[in-house]
Structure 1
Amino acid sequence: MRLPAAALALALPLASMAPASAAPLFTVHMAPGAPAHNDGLTARTPVGSLARVQEVLRRHRPKSDVEVRIEQGVYRSAGMQDWRFYIPGHTISFMPADYEQGTGLPPGGRPVFRNVAGHPGGFWFQARLPKDRTDPLHNGGDSGLRFYYLQVEEYSAGAISIFGDSERDVSDESHDPPLRVRGSQGLNGNLLFGMMLRNLGDKHAPGAPFGYGAVVLTNSSGNRIENNTFDRVENTDPHAGYVHGTYVTHFSSSNVIVRNRFEWISGDPIKVRNASSYNVFEHNTFDRTGRTAHYADEFCDLDCARKNKIDRQCASFHNRLFRNKLGRSHTGDAALPAWLLTPAGLTNAGGAPCSIPAGDVRLRTGSNTS
């Protein structure tokens, strides 16, 4: 029997998501407060921001794997919300300067990226599709971003957004109401490992717009999110329930979210929406998270689309929630259900043209403990 992509990814060791080749690396160095004119090519001439890292990569156009070596310290930044540089067949890894691939937290600890006080909001890092029509990833593909052992805090929207539908038409108006469709092949095949994502959402960025999720995947598949801590991801009322630990939405499939810790999340810690299937959520630990369930699966069916005047969506299916340690709600006054489907029904696809394969269901669960 052939394993679904997500189940196969769970079975593979982390080394399977290592840099693509043993060819010489292209390295960019970062250090807090580095001069803007530095070239970033040596540890003595580091750059000080992710914007400058992207400028260096665009100038040199490496054809190999890239490592962005980040000196420990605090980087005060409004966030990089326009990352569009990728190398087909290769990876771009963001990591502490002293990190060794395949090991744990490095001796120097995690570099810290902290939002600038009073900034109007946004994500720390948002990956988007290239604008250049001649770019090999203009219509999506394997973006190959890797994030290891970094700390991200005080960004209102969240920490990392992989946005595979950026600037694309996602409405099929041959349907009434229009049907939400994929805008591209997605930005796929990324990794988050050992990250500390904390103090996110508008509660921790007063005056900024409310947050959506510490990690938001939009049309982004084949990612692995492992061994990360999601801590204090919170919005204030009336938007407290709108922010999540991981938000897997709009055709984001075959993702593996395993061995993470979620704590103090004001919305449901895992949110899945709209044709995001074959995802695996296993061996995670939760405490003081959520309002309705640990895993909330939602889509906007025909009635919802007409009522809210938005594009219609379809159910996700063949997702797995197994062997997680469940905990209390965000308020701490009750145990939280393992899962909730909205609209209800394990085989409710949302009506034609939406469908679920015969014999399959939206979610399978088992061996979760309190």
Structure 2
Amino acid sequence: MRRPLLAAAIALALPLTAVTPAKAAAPVFTVHMAPGAPASNDGLTARTPVGTLTRVQEVLRQHRPSSDVEVRIKQGTYRSAPMHDWRFYIPGHTISFMPADYAQGAGLPPGGRPVFRNISSHPNGFWLQPRLPRDSADPLHNGGDSGLRFYYLQIEEYAAGAISIFGDSERDVSDESLNPPLRMRGSKGLNGNTLFGMVLRNLGNKHAPGAAYGYGAVVLTNSSGNRIENNTFDHVENAAPDGGYIHGTYVTHFSSSNTVTRNKFVWISGDPIKVRNMSNYNAFEHNNFDRTGRFAHYKDEFCDLACARNNKIDRQCSSFHNRFFHNRLGTNYTGAAALPAWTLSPEGLTNAGGAPCAIPSGDVRLRTGSNTG
């Protein structure tokens, strides 16, 4: 009983020391965009905006902010070629792309969504494809949390799709010690990104005549921990005979722990949700579907040993512990019939694809329930 009293006496006998206040967080670094803005502008004020994502990245590289970044995008239409070289990230911070008048958590801003529309001279590609940094000294050279945020933008007329987060870019992803080689993870990934309130429409080569076929409105390749919520996927279509190759959301190659919730998928010529190759613990819940798909609302596919040998490509493993719950289902793309909730290829809820692939004991590739149609 004497120890607390002794401790209190010692504390009172010690000299008083000043309490150092917590260091204030660095202010947000803002880059401004406006349609048709001159390339010579610095982007640091609303009066000196820049006009392209390429120029935004140049500004960020010049100033190297150590805080969160907001890219404030004035409403209007940006005629924008595909951008496949976004490589700027700030470890521990986010880079948010949003309308100029957007307030966090307030919903669609009064001015509506800025529109990014492809230009006819660049028919192929995604609107934006974030990739790993090339510089080996960059903290994210081997991947990590990229922290990109996209709020209330409209993306249209890109043949490949809208956003492809490519966490294996320029990396060796083939384990050639096996025959056939096994697809492996190329980095820690580009993780922890958000898409919220976006409209992704008129995507795929049906909307970009002469272009190569598209893959998905949102494609995640070795990209985990992402939030894809409250978006509209509208008319995501390839022209015949390639209609089945494009999807609303394509989660592939070691993309895990993603949440795809409260989205609307309409007029998708391929299956609206596709999952491939060791993409685990993903949740697809409370989404609405209509006029989508050929085989199922949710398609899990991987290239097993026979597939790899027949097609001379790297072998893959199944994904596991994914969820497809509380979704409102609709008809297939043609509107001719109801679309099944899910399908697995190759079949088998516990089919991992053979050693060295494995599913944890007691687990399965997919759990479903409470879907209505």
TM-score tier by shorter-chain length is over 0.9
How do residues 1-16 of structure 1 correspond to structure 2 at under 5 angstroms? none
2:27 touches 2:67 (CA, 8 Å); kept in 1? yes
Structure 1 residues 22, 109: closer, same or farther in 2, change over 3 A?
farther
Amino acid across the alignment from 1:206? P
Match of 1:274 in 2: 277
Letter in 2 for 1:119: H
In structure 2, the residue corresponding to 1:297 is in which secondary structure? strand
Q: Distance in 1 between matches of 2:122 and 2:136?
A: 32
Q: Structure 2 residue aligned with 1:185, among 164, 185, 188?
A: 188
Residue 28 of structure 1: CA displacement?
Answer: 0.1
Question: Superposition pairs for residues 67-82 of structure 1, below 5 Å?
Answer: 67-82=70-85
Letter in 1 for 2:210: G
Cα distance in 2 for partners of 1:229, 1:275 equals: 26
The question of whether the paired residues in 1 share the 8 Å contact of 2:254 and 2:277 is answered with yes
- When Rg is computed on C-alpha atoms for both structures, the one with the higher figure is 2
The amino acid across from 1:280 in the alignment is A
8 A Cα contact 1:118 1:205, kept in partner: no
Give how far 1:103 is off: 1.1
Which letter does structure 2 place at the counterpart of 1:189? G
1:261 match: 264
Look up the equivalent residue of 2:142 and give its one-letter code. Answer: N
Q: Deviations over 1:292-342 (max 9, x none)?
A: 000000000000000000000000000000000000000000000000000
Partner of 2:140: 137
- Secondary structure, aligned partner of 2:206: helix
Cross-structure match for 2:209:
206
Counterparts of residues 187-336 of structure 1 (less than 5 Å): 187-336=190-339
Q: Is the 8 Å Cα contact of residues 118 and 206 (structure 1) preserved in structure 2?
A: no
User: Would you say how many aligned residue pairs link Structure 1 and Structure 2?
Assistant: 350
Q: Distance in 2 between matches of 1:33 and 1:127?
A: 23
Deviation at 1:79, TM superposition (A): 2.0
The SS at the match of 2:38 is coil
Aligned mates of 1:118, 1:232 — CA distance in 2: 22
Q: CA RMSD in A?
A: 0.7
Match of 1:45 among 44, 48, 59: 48
Equivalent residue, structure 1, for 2:162: 159
In the other structure, the counterpart of 2:5 is none
Mean alpha-carbon deviation: is it higher for 308-317 or for 117-126? 117-126
**TM-score in terms of structure 2 length:** 0.93
Query: For each residue in 1:19-48, what CA deviation from the matched residue of structure 2 results, as whole angstroms up to 9, or x when unmatched?
Result: xx9530000000000011000000000000
> Deviation at 1:225?
0.1
Is contact 1:118-1:207 (8 Å) kept? no
Aligned to 1:16: none
1:349 aligned residue: 352
Aligned-pair CA distance for 1:236: 0.8
Tell me the equivalent position of 2:68. 65
Percentage of identical aligned residues: 81
**2:82 partner amino acid:** G
Aligned to 1:26: 29
The whole-number CA distance in structure 1 between the counterparts of 2:178 and 2:302 is 17
For 1:31, the aligned partner's letter is: A
1:169 paired with 2:154, answer no
Q: Which amino acid aligns with 2:285?
A: E
Structure 1 alignment gaps of length 5 or more? 1-20
Q: CA deviation at 1:117?
A: 1.7
Residue 340 of structure 1 pairs with residue 365 of structure 2? no
Partner of 1:9: none
User: Does the alignment pair 1:119 with 2:126?
Assistant: no
Superposition pairs of residues 98-113 of structure 1, within 5 angstroms: 98-113=101-116
